[in-house]
Amino acid sequence: MKKKVVAAALSLTMCMSMVVQAGASALSDGVSGGVVEDVVVTEPFESEEELPEEPETPEIPEENQGDSLEIPETDVTPEATVTPEATVTPEATVTPEATVMPEATVTPEEESLMQQEDILSAGSDGLESPETDAIFQVQLGESTSGSVTVGPEYWIKVPEGWKLAKKTGKENRTEFGGESAEAEQQPADDMSMQETVSDEVISEVEEDVLPMEDVAPVETEPMNQEELSMAGAGVGAGIDGTSTAAAAEGRDVYTEADGIVQVTTNSVKGSHTGYYLFDKNGIMVTGKKTVQPGTPGYMMSKEGELYFTEESTAVLHKEYTGTPKTPVTSDLGQQKKNYWLYQDGKFRLYGKSGPNISVKSMNDKYKDTGYLSVNGKYYCLEDDGTPRTGFIGINGSKYFFDPASEIPGEMFMGGWRCMGTNSKGEKWIYFNRKNKGKDKGKAVIHKGNVAITVTPKSKSIKYLLDHNGYILKNRRTKCVDKAWYGSDSQGRIVKDKLVRYGKYRYYFTKNGKQVGWKNVWKQCPTSAGLKYYYFGSTAGCVSEKKGWQKVKWPSGKFLGWFYFRDNGDHYMGRWVGNQYFDDIGKLASGIKTIDGKTYFFEISDSNTHRGKVFKNTMIKYNNKWYYAESDGQLSNNEWRKINGKWYYFKNFVSQTNIFVWKDGTYGWLDEQGKFCTGWVVLSNSENKVRYVNPKGNGFYKNTSAVIDGLRYYFDEKAYRINDLTSVYRGPYYVEVDRTNGVMTIYDQSRTVPVKTIRVSVGRPGTETPTGRFVLRRSGRWQSLMGPSWGQYGTHVQGAGLGGIFIHSVSGAQMNPYSVPAAEYNKLGNPASHGCIRVCVADAKWIYENCNGATIRILDKKYESREALKGPLGRRARVPMRPPYNFDPTDPSI
């Protein structure tokens, strides 16, 4: 049975080998074209502008434009490899993903949608799928061009460099450097055979090839000594867990026969994957290496130069910062793709498939641009990769490639640059910044002999230059943009300042341009701070003012009152009696903080200057309340008793609409900040009130409570419920308060107010009688004085005076469209000849629900707040609608 297993494994190995050969053949062509398409350059903007005249002293040399280039065409596309469905794939076979290398950003920015990366630095550990060079790998056990996962101890430091030990059969089942108990009980030869079989994967479609049930138990034999794992001194002895040369004795290591190997190194600090190549002696390859077709893991049909990081280019993994560079702590020895290498004064490009791409091919392809983008920077390269330097003309435009940059030859895009000095002084040229797109780096040449504003030496300081770039000093002159500018003794442009030239002062704005202001007030900076000045009929010149001046905005809107002294300057930042002039010189008005103290000043307007500070009074301003103490300071962060009521001020403002505890009493600060307990009116017009729960927890909400002997109900928003007729359906007790014009319906026990009705009682001379009476239903249309007719009449039996009724506002006819608007609008005020008027809806409800009820008519204390007129307040009158001759509550309309 052991022989059957070995035969099956060898059969699978031969099948997979055939698949690998077929895949490699299919991918052997058309690679170079894909690589060339990966690069980016930027096309410059064509310019016809002239160059500035050369300075008299030697300047940076100017080179001629580059030679004409041609673009090579590569249209060969690799054919797709078809993998036979019946191929048996070993379990350990993994098609390695491409290790992400810094992207070679050498194609024009406007031709590429790819985001550039800094590829001059070492690559990252991420993975990127190549676009053109798919590498198909088949791994059988420890096959070449495969992938392997190791611990740091498998990396061995030898004098010549680094080696990578291969795992033995035993090490594939146990920890490197030790054995499991199960392994100790099995002979070495059989364990090796089990390893071979267990690494294979048999899918469902392959069960007919090698059914698992046909494999007999494997016989065991003693393990061979050469398969024993590494042990002893030097194993994992490095600070990063690598091993010493002594640990490599007798070990099988990776060599050039294994080709390019994907290695994942797992350490206690992290996991990193890269592609490595080893020479015939097993030493890890670093630097440039020419690889031949057929090399495992190299799928090109032609030989190619690859690059593997060396000590000078390797980058430490972040978790190993500050440690020596090894294959564990850094990307040392990893193959780089999409990578620009700068070495020995020249650039070399390694494409997305790995092999070197000539700089000449890039220059040929992008000759219209004339320069290449390398790691976000721009260089003009010779065909051998050497960066050109100096002032260079490209396609009609001038560029400066800095010989003093970190890598000589970087395109200068920093704006202004001094190009030399002669008897006229310094000569400056501006080069467009990177944000100028296709015009970046171009020299900006100004035509004409008129000075313009520039920024050669500082981002904040500008200079006045003539058309050749030389600095003008102590001059006020008109520039090519038709604006006037002035300069100081250093040639710096005057900005945001009043400056005297000759007999007059002129103001220059923040961009250095002289203003053209006329007949307007403007604020200008001075040595004493910002001050307001009036610019009269001469543009840009200050016209001095004296005394009180009403200063306006340029739009004509009032700004404030200023007082100008004889010297033409106005007061600023000082008290003058009970008035204060603020930091811009305006007379203080409203709230103002001075030297850490806050005051409230009388409000001035465009007609009158006031400005007196308030003292000992409450002040309402912008719907907020303040209190000025005896010295004028506003109360802050304290309780104050004002006119017998308590208020709390926080940040100078009376606190409103919040719950607070004061001296053990729970209350509500109302809309003015007054401390309230009990009923709190939220809206008189909407009859909305709440009641403060004296035990805390805000207002009563979703509950009922007995207050002053009456039970009230509150909804989920804590509002008092003003109509409980759906809960209490009678019999009822009725009470009319003549003073406040309100009728309240109670339950029979007289402890629950059920409904509130707005009423009009008798006017002076025909007052509605007071007392206790009984209500009796009278008539649907009630005949009244006039004659007139009211709807739903209910007789107040026993009230006398020939009959007192509760009825709607009467009309001259017995129909709903004869209601006088003037009479209807009196609802709530005394207006009748003794009867009690209500709206039609309320008259109907009383007519239908209060027959036989007791009614009491009385006078109570006047209450100004509508929401507190009676236990349930008083509803607002429903306004009439056109044609204004009917009661809007009439249910018949």
**pLDDT tens for residues 126-142?**
333 333 333 333 332 33
Whole-number Cα distances in Å, 886 to 140, 341, 503, 741, 881 = 100, 95, 82, 22, 8
Topology of domain 722-893, CATH? L,D-transpeptidase catalytic domain-like (2.40.440)
Q: At what angle do helices 2-26 and 188-198 cross, to 10 degrees?
A: 40
Backbone angles phi, psi at 31, to 5 degrees: -85, -40
Across the chain, mean pLDDT equals 79
CA dihedral over 737, 723, 703, 695, signed as positive or negative:
negative
Following DSSP, what letter does each residue of 350-386 receive, concatenated? E-TTSSEE-HHHHHHHTTTT--EEETTEEE-B-TTSP
Query: Distance between CA 215 and CA 3 in Å, rounded?
Result: 10
Say if residue 867's pLDDT is above 90.
yes
Backbone angles phi, psi at 523, to 5 degrees: -95, 130
Q: Is 353 left (phi over 0), alpha (psi -120 to 50) or beta?
A: alpha
Domain 520-613, CATH number (from 2.10.270.10, 2.60.40.420, 3.50.50.60, 3.40.190.80)? 2.10.270.10
Cα–Cα nearest to 342, from 387, 304, 298, 311? 387
Say if residue 255's pLDDT is above 60.
yes
What are the strands of the beta sheet with 675-676, ordered from one edge?
Answer: 658-662, 665-669, 675-676
Are the CB atoms for 823 and 880 separated by under 8 Å?
A: no
Bridge partners of 162, per DSSP, are: 157
pLDDT (mean) for 574-597: 94
Query: Distance between CA 332 and CA 311 in Å, rounded?
Result: 7
pLDDT (mean) for 250-266: 95
Please report, as a single letter, which amino acid is at residue 368: D
Look at residue 101 in the predicted model and tell me its pLDDT: 39
In the numeric block, which tokens belong to residue 827? Answer: 């609802």
- Confidence bin at 530 (pLDDT 50/70/90): confident
E strands, 295-345, in order:
304-308, 339-343
Give the lowest-confidence range in 7-21, 61-75, 301-315, 675-689: 61-75
Domain ranges in the chain?
1-40+77-181+229-382, 520-613, 722-893
Q: What is the pLDDT of residues 49-106, one digit of tens each?
A: 333 333 333 343 344 333 333 333 333 333 333 333 333 333 333 333 333 334 444 4
Look at residue 199 in the predicted model and tell me its pLDDT: 38
Say if residue 34's pLDDT is above 70.
no
Are the CB atoms for 806 and 794 separated by under 8 Å?
A: yes
The most confident of 96-105, 361-370, 694-703, by mean pLDDT: 694-703
Say if residue 8's pLDDT is above 50.
no
The most confident of 367-371, 461-465, 859-863, by mean pLDDT: 859-863
